[in-house]
Each structure stands twice: as C-alpha cells, then as structure tokens.
Chain A
Amino acid sequence: MVATTAVKLPQLRHRRLTWLIGLTGVLVLAIVLSITIGAKAVPLTDAWHALTSPTGTESDIIIRSLRLPRTALGILAGIALGVAGALMQGHTRNPLADPGLLGVTQGAAFAMVASIIFLGTTSLLGFIWFGLAGALVASVGVFALGMVGGRGGPTPVTLALAGTAVSAFLYALTSAMVLLDEQAMDVFRFWQSGSIAARGTEVIWQVLPFIAAGLLLALLNASGLNALSLGEDVARNLGQNIALTRAVGVASVTLLTGAAVAACGSLSFIGLIVPHLARRVSGTDHRWLLPYSGLIGAALLLLGDVIGRVVAPPGELEVGVVLALLGAPFFVALVRRRKPVRL
C-alpha cells in the first residue's frame, strides 16, 4: 500500500515537469512570433542576423530598437501579472480576484496623473517612477486599512473590501483631475488602454529590479500559500506565520503589479485569467502554479500583442484592448465549462 503513493508521486512530478517544458516551448514560439511579425514582417534568418551580427540593415534596426525591447517588456510584464494574479487569488481565496484588487492599478494611475498636473512630469521614465510609487503607497494603505479590526493581520475579506474602497476613491480623484487637464487626459487615456509598444530599453531596466524582487518574494511565498489554502487555523497548526505570509504575498503582488502597470498600463485582466489556465495543469500546488502562471502570462501577453499588430493594418490595436476583446468571451467559456473554482 505504501508503495502505491511512492510510485505515483514521482509520476505526478514527471507530468508537471513535462508541462513546464511544454509551456516554455509555447513561450519561445510566442517570442519568435513577436520578433518576426509586425508592420514589416522579418524572415527568421534576418531576425537571427539582427540578433547575432547586426550590420545596420533596416530589419536589424527594427528588431533591435523596436521588437526586442517590446518583446522583453512583454515577457516581464506577462510573468509579473500572471504570478501576481495567482498570488492574489491564492491569498484572497477568491477566483475572481485580480492583481489590481489591492488598489495597485488605481494607485499607479493616480500618481502618474497627479505628477503630470502638479509637478509637470513629461518623460515616460518620470511617469513610471511615479506610477511605481503610487502603486506601493496604495497597496500599503490597503494593507493597513485591512488590518483595522482584523485579529492578527488582515483577512482576505478585509483586504478585498479595503482594496475596492481605495480603488474607487483613487479612481474618482483621477477622473476629476484628468477632466481639468488635457495633457494629463491624453497620457491617462493612452496608459489606461495598456500597451507594451514604444517603451524603450530604459523602461525595462527601470522595472526589472522590482519585478525580480517581486518574483523572489513570490517563490518564498509559495509553500506558505499552500498551507494558507487549507484555512488559517490549519496553516497556523502547520507552523505558518499567517501575518508574515500575507505581508510577503502583498509585497510581492505590489512589486509585480506596480512595475507591470506602471510600465504597460492597465493589463490586470491577464492576472485574472492566467491563473485559471495554469491551475488546470498544476492543480492547487502553488510551487507549480506560480511558475506556470508566469509562463502562460508572458506567452498570452506576447500573442495578444502580435495579434494587435496585424489585425488592423496599417495601425495597431493596443494589447490591452486585444486581451480584453479576446479574453472576455474566453473567460465566460472557461467559467461555463466548469463549476466555479473554490479556492
């Protein structure tokens, strides 16, 4: 009898590894598409040429200065939002939670708009610093509000309530501000649609440390989240420090989502939908769910971006719009096919 499980557990691990490799393959394919497809299609051989020994041809320039940064940012933001979504749904035990639930997205929007109006910020890099700061402050505020009245740290319910309240409040302020300032309105509208185009290499270096730190915290959080998914009492029994686990989770979600939305705009739909896909292959173990979510998030964001490039020539459709258009019916189908997931 003991032997039954001894055999089956490695089998399961084998299956999970296979999926990991398969999903990595999908991501590689998405990367290739993202580099070669666009307003000007670049054949694979030319793309290879541009990556390994550029000589300044037209396709070299397109690939190195436009497609490569765009793809890299797509990978980073996709991983960040996928992982943040899985963390958020795990911590709140709510399958409809998205990474924006902590007020991160609205915090970033508010800070960016405020910096344009009150400080006259004009550069993209400047906006992003303010976006990051706004995301962090909003999230800390939500966490603090969620602790009020809670015993031993915030509960999923108080976090969700505080997040919704803070988001609504910040959204109201942001809306009021953009009505008063035309330039801020333009930036805000562009940011809100969500895009990874024309951000440049500096933006990537700017958000990379935050995303790296967020991913590290996410990995540290995975096994604690597994314990928490059995309920707070069981987690406490297993020797898990609940408040610390929540704090690490919130910090991770804030860093990941804050960096991604500051750089790419509101794309939190990815964080809502990706964990549902990942959960189908990983099951409920967050040590696998988080990496799967990262891979699927990156692949989905890149594919959405590629579709946006070809669907409305000669123009482009922002990836945020593509994902919302394609994602909404897809999400409905996902929910209809199975009874809602209980977390």
Chain B
Amino acid sequence: MRLQAVDVKLGYGDRVIVDGLDLGVEAGTVTTIIGPNGCGKSTLLRALGRLLKPSGGEVLLDGKKISTIATKEVARILTVLPQSPSAPEGLTVADLVARGRHPHQTWYRQWSSDDEKAVGVALNMTGLSDLAERPLDELSGGQRQRAWISMALAQGTDLLLLDEPTTFLDLAHQVEVLELVRDLHAQAGRTIVMVLHDLNLAARYADRLVAMRDGSVVAAGTPHEVLTEDLIREVFDLDSKVITDPVAGTPLVVPIGSHR
C-alpha cells in the first residue's frame, strides 16, 4: 500500500464529515473517488495529502505515519493538487511550473540544473512548451488546468493526488486532461488518486473506483464491480440503467428521470 487511511476522523472545526474511514491505495494504480456533493471525497483526498490533519486515526504514507514525516519530505514523495487553485495575476506558465520545484530547493540552493530539466520535461509532457512565457490568466481553462498539472509534475513525485482536475472544463478538455493523467500513469507507473464527478469518465480512466456517501466508503473495486444500478441508487438516490460503453467497454451510467 502506497497510501492508507486508517480509521480516520475528518472535519472542519466541530463539524465531522468523515468518521472511522479506512481506505488503501495500491502502488501503480489509478484510483478515483466518486460520490454525491458533500459526501466527504475532497475532504478525504485533502487528508490523504496531509492538507487536512485528521482529528482521529492516521494516514500512512508507504507504511509510515504521514504526520511524523517532515512536510517538505512528504512533498518530495507525493503531490496533491487542490480543486481550482488560483495564481497571482501575471504569473507565467514557466514561473508556475518552476514553483513545483520548491520542495527540492533550500535557502542556499535556489535553482539547479535538475530543476531546469524537471521544468522542461513537465512543460513538454503537458504540451505547454510553446506557451511557457504566457501569463496564466491569458490561457483557456483547459490549458490552465494543464499548467497546474505541469507544476505538479515538476514536483517530481510518483504519487499524485488530484482533486477534481476536470472541474469547469468542457467535455473535450475533460477528456484531454484525463488522457494526460492516464499517460502519466502509463509512462512511469505513477500512482494516482483523483476525485471526479463524471461517473462514465471515472469508469473509463480508473483502475479502481471508491464510492462514498455521508463520509463512508460504500463500495470499492474495479469499475465493473462498483458501478451497478443498485449501487448508484444507494449512493446517489438515482435510478439508472448501466450499459456497456461502446467505446471503452467500461460501465456507462444512463440516468432515469421522470421526464423522458
């Protein structure tokens, strides 16, 4: 197990969102967490990436309590990209990506050829080399999201946690970002954990799905195991038909409403 939540209790202030949850992420897999709004999936991801300290239980990174590892050391092992992050105005793509090298720098060693190389590779992999000098706020939503992922790549970890990397993107850009995620997994066997809203894309791009409701894991397994009509009803209170995606062969959820 690369990353493990053991009996974690999570919340903000007095509000408990997740209580007594267990979850394991195996090395070299793409895991996607799904569930209705407010079920605690982003909260769980934030805890896995030590952005949120559990009020009970532990998160284990490679078997070690993440709270006992220096935060800069953690930053060299895992990268967590929060949902819709914001950058200061005028920041260029290259500058943003270069900031991903922060955990590898110290006050006496600010910028090295390793950093230079990592930034070049990250820009290249996300197809942003030609836009490197452009300010972030001049880019389209899809390009901007790629720039943030590029920063995450420059951080150089093989464990990536992405919180809704496709929010606010149109379908074509959603597919583009998820293809990129899959490439990252294929190239270096990176372990990736994502939160996604679109069930069909989740089924297509993940090895494992984790379905959550009210702060608990309802089901976990392959997309075929998890995405059943019964489970969708249980998790989303939604009647649906699950058919086979004619393109990918993965489950395809078709909702049933009262009109049409």
Contact = CB atoms under 8 A, between A and B. Distances in A.
Interface of A: 1-6, 8-9, 93, 151-152, 220, 223, 226-227, 229-231, 233-234, 236-241, 279, 283-285, 287, 341-343
Given A238-B102, A240-B102, A5 B91 contact: no
Shortest Cβ-Cβ A-B pairs, 10 listed: A239-B75, A239-B72, A2-B120, A1-B129, A233-B82, A238-B102, A342-B89, A239-B103, A284-B88, A237-B80
A6 B88 CA distance: 23
Contact of A229 (B88, B107, B130): B88
Contacts of B98: 9
B102 A239 contact: yes
A343 B88 contact: yes
A68 to B, nearest CB: 34
Interface residues of B, number: 49
A1 B117 CA distance: 12
A304 B4 CA distance: 61
Contacts of A237: 49, 51, 75, 79-82, 155
Contacts of B96: 230
A246 to B, nearest CB: 15
B76 A239 contact: yes
Contacts of B68: none
A1 B123 contact: yes
A5 B119 contact: yes
Interface string B182-208: 000000000000000000000000000
Q: Which of A93, A239, A343 has most chain B Cβ within 10 Å?
A: A239
A218 to B, nearest CB: 12
B112 to A, nearest CB: 12
B158 interface: no
B236 interface: no
Nearest to B71: A239
Nearest to A241: B71
6 contacts: A3-B120, A8-B132, A8-B133, A240-B102, A284-B88, A341-B88
A250 B246 CA distance: 59
Given A1-B123, A8-B133, A151-B12, A283 B95 contact: yes
Nearest to B132: A5
B67 to A, nearest CB: 13
A285 B94 contact: no
Given A93-B88, A223-B102, A239-B102, 18 more contacts: A2-B120, A5-B116, A5-B120, A8-B133, A9-B116, A151-B12, A152-B53, A226-B102, A227-B99, A227-B102, A236-B51, A238-B75, A238-B155, A239-B70, A284-B91, A285-B95, A341-B89, A342-B88
B49 to A, nearest CB: 6
A284 B95 contact: yes
Nearest to A285: B95
A239 B73 contact: yes
A238 to B, nearest CB: 4
A238 B99 contact: yes
A131 B129 CA distance: 52
B71 A236 contact: yes
Nearest to B161: A237
A2 B95 contact: no
Contact of A238 (B89, B100, B116, B130): B100
B129 A5 contact: yes
A241 B110 CA distance: 18
A6 B171 CA distance: 34
A87 B75 CA distance: 25
